[in-house]
Amino acid sequence: MTVETEIRSTPLEFCPLCGSPGVTIHTNQRDRIYQAPGVWGHRQCSGPRCGLIWLDPMPWPEDIGKAYETYYTHSEAPTITTSTAKRFQQVMAEGYVQSRFGYTHDVGPPWYRWLRPLAFVHPGGEAELAAWVLYLPAPRPGARLVEVGCGSGDMLLRMERLGWEAEGVEVDERAAEAARAKGLTVHLGELQSHRFPDTYADAVVLQHVLEHLHDPLGVLAEASRILRPGGSLIILTPNANSLGRRFFGSSWYPLDPPRHLMLYSVTSMRRALEAVPGLEILRLRSTVRYARSIWGFSRQIQRFGRAERLETSVVSQIIGLPYQQAQRLLQLVRNQAGDELLLIARKAAA
């Protein structure tokens, strides 16, 4: 049976990843951020090696664009730090990626590398600084990066300046136009529709994209096809098994109905990668880099029923610090504590 709403949807009782029955965990959910129409719920897979969380009902692919009409990729991202603090963080990141990943172009003077020990005292830890280059080492000449779901292109622009031959794929026409206005090469449509050649890319990146996909396994298979042997797949996505989801429940900001269609844990992410030939998992764990902001937005939802994507004040960032550090400490004994999952995989040799 099809549910007729302004965003058409279909009930989905069984896990789209493994086919196991789903248990209802949230009901009567609405868009708490951009006010897209519809009432949504969440199910969690009962399978022992899965645990995927998904929207039930599931929006139709043909209608999901209605949920993005005022999405943040159409405008500037919210400011979360003062300019002085932001510049100091950039200096730390530039020094860190020089020292750890070997970048030399557009990363400040060489002495910045001596700032690497400061990564230990950074609130988000090394993961937040490594994310500045998407966990990728400095490229060899001519190395090609494809970012799936590049939005308005800010990360793509940075990677191009750092020496990558970078191009993006984006389904949102307005976001793609914003990226092209920055001089970037961005293909409009889904990854599968563009049909890149085999072994085209040295790196494929999905940064907070997998949770938006109706066909994640199809996209992962296509990413594997276009990667050269030894190439890297980088995925960042919300962590369904985090401290934050357990603490905030249905108010957890990254649930984000109806845009986030599926939410992964370490277990379900591993299952997804096992279904795709040719990819070897090198690293799979959580990070805490967005924890301060997630705390603030989740508290807004908890208290007021919605979150405003406005400027996050320094005060609210400070208030979120204990929450972030609690996640960071828990990671020492439980690598799924953080609100974000990081997957680094490698394309196997032919």
From CA 9, how far away is CA 30, in angstroms rounded? Answer: 14
Beta bridge partners of residue 44, listed in sequence order: 23, 53
Average pLDDT, the chain: 90
Asked whether residue 152 carries a pLDDT value surpassing 90, the answer given is: yes
Cis peptide before 258 (omega within 30 of 0): yes
Nearest to 284 by CA among 274, 293, 297: 274
Average pLDDT rounded to a whole number, residues 62-81 = 67
User: Is residue 280 helix, strand or coil?
Assistant: strand
- pLDDT, one tens digit per residue, over 242-291 is 999 999 999 999 999 999 999 999 999 999 999 998 999 999 999 999 99
Asked whether residue 237 carries a pLDDT value surpassing 90, the answer given is: yes
Average pLDDT rounded to a whole number, residues 60-67 = 93
What's residue 179's pLDDT?
A: 94
Query: What b/e sequence results for 186-210 when a residue is b if at least 16 CB atoms lie within 10 Å of its CB, and e otherwise?
Result: bbbebbeebebeeebbbbbbbbbbb
What's residue 307's pLDDT?
A: 86
Confidence of residue 74 (pLDDT cuts 50, 70, 90): very low
CATH architecture assignment, domain 9-347 = 3-Layer(aba) Sandwich (3.40)
Start-to-end Cα distance in the chain: 45
Confidence of residue 75 (pLDDT cuts 50, 70, 90): very low
Asked whether residue 81 carries a pLDDT value surpassing 80, the answer given is: no
CA angle 283/147/317 to nearest 5° reads 70
From CA 50, how far away is CA 272, in angstroms rounded? Answer: 9
User: Is residue 229 helix, strand or coil?
Assistant: strand
Contact indicator for 24, 11 with CB cutoff of 8 Å: no
- pLDDT, one tens digit per residue, over 280-323 is 999 999 999 999 889 989 999 999 999 876 545 566 667 888 99
From CA 193, how far away is CA 198, in angstroms rounded? Answer: 14
pTM of the entire predicted model? 0.92
From CA 170, how far away is CA 191, in angstroms rounded? Answer: 8
Q: Where are the domains of the chain?
A: 9-347
CA angle 157/158/164 to nearest 5° reads 85
Contact indicator for 79, 288 with CB cutoff of 8 Å: no
What's residue 333's pLDDT?
A: 84
Beta bridge partners of residue 43, listed in sequence order: 24, 54
User: Is residue 101 helix, strand or coil?
Assistant: helix
% of the chain with per-residue pLDDT over 90: 69
- pLDDT, one tens digit per residue, over 174-190 is 999 999 999 999 999 99
The two three-digit tokens of residue 218, written as one number: 């199809």
